[in-house]
Structure 1
Amino acid sequence: MPSATLDRVAVVTVSYNSGGQLPAFLDSVAALSTRPGSVVVADNASADVAETRSLTAARGVRLVELGENAGYGAAVNAAVRALPPGVEYVLVSNPDVAMSADALAVLVDALDRQPAAGAVGPRILNPDGTTYPSARNLPSLRTGVGHALLGTPWPTNPWTRAYRAETQSPDRRRSVGWLSGACVLVRRRAFDEVGGFDPGYFMYFEDVDLGLRLGRAGWLNAYEPDAVVTHIGGLSTKKESRRMVLAHHRSAERFLRRKYASPLLAPLRWALVAGLRLRAWVVVRRAG
């Protein structure tokens, strides 16, 4: 049976030296039982952009070249702006994600059934078949601090488990605080209403921040386990580079400053930022 094409649905992804991943990703999109009417690749000044130009041209995929490495969120925003006005739903995905044939159809149906949902996320599998905790609670002061301090040496600590919602069955549909930006279907109206991703996050925490702002604007973040994708990069065993560690902590600092923005909470912000900077220093030293 030929695939159905929905012009009101689009797929966007971000490329940064991702020439080796894009062919498999685009093959996965082309094999969907419900295909998007538009596919856009936003390129963050990749060294292999010439290869990406040839690939996208051959497949009829639109390429948006940013001319600089603007970061993940800014690149997604640029791709969404390039979409036709009739697009209602946008699947935002990393290029190292492989989707099951019915994943997009199930996500679209989930948003159709839930008009209050601004975003819906699939079950994301690691390469070994285990479920990645992609549908999480927003970090509270207690769970955030507990996860930051104990998440690495004691992964099963109660604060990390609460933040990752690991006490919930991965088979259960539910509303959550935020959804992983590795693969998420957003309602374009909701996404535009909150201003899309905050480009101030170069990488990390842009999806946490989006979930927070969608919730504050009255939209739900929904988890749909019947839609299944596999994140090929989900179980990387390589040590994070110093640059990645520092970027992660800078993004965490930005998120905390915005979440606890009240002048009355200034002492709390100072304490949290000091703790983050100390943690970043320790992690970088341990990494050598």
Structure 2
Amino acid sequence: MTETLVVTVAFNSADVLDDFCASLPAASERGFRLVIVENNSGEREATRDIARRHSAQFVALDQNLGYGGGITAGLTQLAISEDFILIANPDLVFHPGAIDALVDAAHRNPQAAAFGPQILNVDGGVYPSARQLPSLRNGIGHALFYRLWPSNPWTALYLQETNTSTERPAGWLSGACILIRRDVFDAIGGFDSTYFMYFEDVDLGARIGRAGWANMYVPSALVTHRGAHSTSTSESAAMMIREHHRSAYTYLSRKYTGWYLAPLRLVVRGGLSFRSWWLTRRL
């Protein structure tokens, strides 16, 4: 029996999914089970063919449930006996030994429930995939100054860009690639499906922490992220920007819940709405 169930959600992903699947065998000498969840896109049959070629289980959904929702819906249709669930974007390429490195980290860190690899961009740069949980102070500083002053202290603190080579705890790990103990994932209810896309991984990391577990960054495990294949048009890019800001407000409004914070939540909502409009006005 394998230790790891690998699950990915595909949405118009046929152009990258073959490379994703082909990279997996060299990433694990222990073996794994692969599941591809098709999120009701126009490429269902092409995705089914890719799954067949790579001996993967194929789960077709009747509607697009978003990233976390698609993962959860796919997993509920399976009988799962594996100890670990590896959730990954279909536009990743795993480096040799990456899955084994994550599982090894899980075995030597029993206090941690989730493990994230070092994620490389196609140019070889390191994507900041292990971050602090967002706060209003850092979030506002990051939102206001990131584009004008990328090295500002609020962005640096939030992204933790200066510490990419050390295995360490993090507030949350990028949902682009995350290994999680199955029993913990089940106990906390998996992804919150109210986040259609974005911040479902932030919310997951926060709930893992509240449950008494750690999120662990494992830079010895390497993957390369090829880019947002399903958001290539200006219309879809604008939709994703709006969705990102909507999810950001959902997360922050749940974090700052006191009745006396209602004026603050109103200001945050207005600020995020304005920023979303500003970023999408010319797309």
TM range, smaller chain? over 0.9
Letter in 1 for 2:4: V
Is residue 223 from structure 1 mapped to residue 217 from structure 2 by the alignment? yes
**Superposed displacement of residue 85, structure 1:** 3.1
The residue number in structure 1 matching 2:106 is 111
Is residue 29 from structure 1 mapped to residue 24 from structure 2 by the alignment? yes
The residue number in structure 1 matching 2:174 is 180
* Alignment CA distance shift 1:147-1:184 (3 Å): same
Is residue 196 from structure 1 mapped to residue 197 from structure 2 by the alignment? no
CA distance in 1, matches of 2:243, 2:124: 29
The residue number in structure 1 matching 2:148 is 153
**Superposed displacement of residue 241, structure 1:** 2.5
CA distance in 2, matches of 1:195, 1:13: 18
Is residue 281 from structure 1 mapped to residue 277 from structure 2 by the alignment? yes
CA distance in 1, matches of 2:32, 2:92: 19
Is residue 253 from structure 1 mapped to residue 239 from structure 2 by the alignment? no
Query: Which of 97, 101, 105 pairs up with 1:102?
Result: 97
Alignment of 1:1-288 (within 5 A): 7-167=2-162, 169-233=163-227, 241-285=237-281, 287-288=282-283
**Superposed displacement of residue 234, structure 1:** 7.1
Retained in 2: the 8 A contact 1:38–1:83?
no
The residue number in structure 2 matching 1:3 is none
Q: Equivalent pairs: percent with the same residue?
A: 47
**Superposed displacement of residue 64, structure 1:** 0.9
Retained in 1: the 8 A contact 2:167–2:217?
yes
Letter in 1 for 2:245: H
CA distance in 2, matches of 1:259, 1:11: 31
CA distance in 2, matches of 1:112, 1:35: 14
CA RMSD after TM alignment: 1.9
TM-score for the superposition, normalised by structure 1: 0.92
Secondary structure at 2:197 match in 1: coil
CA distance in 2, matches of 1:208, 1:126: 20
Secondary structure at 1:46 match in 2: coil
Secondary structure at 2:100 match in 1: helix
Secondary structure at 2:3 match in 1: strand
**Superposed displacement of residue 11, structure 1:** 0.3
Unaligned runs of 5+ in 2: none
**Superposed displacement of residue 237, structure 1:** 9.7
CA distance in 2, matches of 1:234, 1:78: 22
**Superposed displacement of residue 80, structure 1:** 2.6
CA distance in 2, matches of 1:50, 1:150: 44
CA distance in 1, matches of 2:195, 2:69: 8
CA distance in 2, matches of 1:222, 1:26: 25
TM-score for the superposition, normalised by structure 2: 0.94
**Superposed displacement of residue 238, structure 1:** 8.1
Retained in 2: the 8 A contact 1:11–1:36?
no
Unaligned runs of 5+ in 1: 1-5
CA distance in 1, matches of 2:31, 2:87: 12
* Alignment CA distance shift 1:84-1:7 (3 Å): farther
1:176-220 CA distance string (max 9 Å, x none): 000001111111111111111111111111111111111111110
Q: Which moved more, 1:87-96 or 1:55-64?
A: 55-64
Secondary structure at 1:233 match in 2: coil
1:213-239 CA distance string (max 9 Å, x none): 111111100001111111111799986
CA distance in 2, matches of 1:177, 1:278: 27
CA distance in 2, matches of 1:242, 1:58: 34
Across the two proteins, how many residue pairs are aligned to each other? 281
